[in-house]
Amino acid sequence: MGLAIELFTNMFQAVMFVGFLYLFFDKPKGKLMRLLPFAGSVLAFFFVSSYLIVTDTYISASTYYLDSLIYILIFETYAIFFLRGKLYLRIIMPIIDFGINALVSYSFGYIASFISGIPIEESLVASTGFRYFCIAVVNLTSALILWLILRIGSKRIRLSNASEAISFTIIPLMCMVILYCGFFIYQESNFNDSILLYVLISCFVMVGVAILISVMLVKISKANAIKTEYLLIRQKEKLYEESTFSTNMQIKKISGIKHDMKNNLMSIKNLIESGNHEHAINLCDNAFEKLEATYTPINSPNLILNAIINVELEKASSLGINFTIEINETLSHISSADTVSLIGNLCDNAIEYLSTQPKECRAMILQIHSQLNHTIITCKNKIAKSVLSDNPSLTTTKTDNSNHGMGISIIKKIISQYDGEIIFSEENGYFIVSVMLCQP
């Protein structure tokens, strides 16, 4: 029984260590080129770690260090020659991989000795059950740490997202704390095997509850993500409809201007031919005034950016809002859907607020520019009084908040995809939303 547990532990460690490297780095093409080195490294670690157990060899300090060196060489060979990625990482990560388990083992032994006052070596000799409990806790702790490194490194866990941080970090850590407490209770009872059963049941029940809570949080997070995606799609369709309507309106306006200009030019020609230059000049001035008052669409190399800004300009113009636009960056590295949603939500929030203000206070500014490998989008709107002091969390004040208030959530979701951040501030009577996105 004892030998079987030891061999199982060695195989678990082999898969854990080599599997971490396999998942952390890029793999070569071809299924055979992936599986053979992986299986070879797992078996090499298993045979080396099992040799001393099977031969019942005394493990001295020098033997332990020699074995550790062999393990690291196995991992280094696998990472350097059979995986893809940055060379310095392929050299460092195998050491970190094995070092985490060693660090956990030593730390665990030190804590156990400190709490009980009994050297860990004596505890391991005194109870076989204690030894197996110790092996399980140490390896589960190492597996949890390596798993968190993988998830965070691949950005599958965003610590800025509260539900993900709780589901994938806090709850797993709580599970390990429960196991550790059970371990120390068993140790304090002088390895009473009758207590061990109750300790294990308590640990498994608490861990089960923690896992269920974690699963529920993940499902809630996914449901919210699906809802946000749905709202993004709806919003994109709505904005495209508004863009089409705005374009048709502009075509009608241009047709009207074309007709007026044709009549004006004919009248000016007749006035000049008849020598009535003063009236001709007055008619030219009137034509210039009409052209100046005509809404001019934005025309940048990014057609999607043009469309959404022109839609927002039309909205602002219809509400008597003075809308100033400064564009030095075309957002070419941002997807069309994200461009529509990001600019649309920023402007809609400002326009919605300004529509409730006196006409003399209706002014907003949209700025898009690049700075130090970052795209910076700033949307400012005049405010009658401080918004952040009255509503620092920017919670919607509308009675139907099932969909309202999602604008900020949508903006934050898009920003997270580009490793960006959002800052809310107030200055010189303006409410300012600054979005910073990393450029590729």
87: Cβ contacts below 8 Å, ≥ 6 apart: 80
Q: Does the structure show a pLDDT above 70 at 295?
A: no
* Mean local confidence (pLDDT), 60-71: 78
Domain ranges of the chain: 2-156, 298-440
Q: pLDDT (tens digit, 9 = 90+) per residue, 79-125?
A: 999 998 889 989 999 999 888 888 888 877 777 677 666 666 665 55
H/E element holding 376?
strand 374-382
- CA atoms of 147 and 155, how far apart (whole Å): 12
- CA atoms of 217 and 240, how far apart (whole Å): 34
361: Cβ contacts below 8 Å, ≥ 6 apart: 354, 382, 384
Q: pLDDT (tens digit, 9 = 90+) per residue, 19-56?
A: 999 999 988 888 888 899 999 999 999 998 887 666 65
| Residue-averaged pLDDT of the chain | 78
Structure tokens at 224: 């919210």
- What is the per-residue pLDDT for 148? 79
Structure tokens at 25: 């780095």
Q: pLDDT (tens digit, 9 = 90+) per residue, 136-175?
A: 878 888 888 888 788 777 655 554 555 556 666 676 777 7
Specify the pTM: 0.51
Domain 298-440: which topology?
A: Heat Shock Protein 90 (3.30.565)
- What is the per-residue pLDDT for 405? 45
Q: pLDDT (tens digit, 9 = 90+) per residue, 210-232?
A: 777 767 766 776 777 777 777 76
Which stretches of 104-246 are assigned E, i.e. beta strand?
A: none
* Mean local confidence (pLDDT), 314-318: 86
- CA atoms of 249 and 245, how far apart (whole Å): 6
310: Cβ contacts below 8 Å, ≥ 6 apart: 243, 246, 247, 250, 297, 298
Comparing CA positions, the residue from 246, 362, 359 lying closest to residue 298 is 246
Q: Does the structure show a pLDDT above 70 at 236?
A: no
H/E element holding 344?
helix 336-354
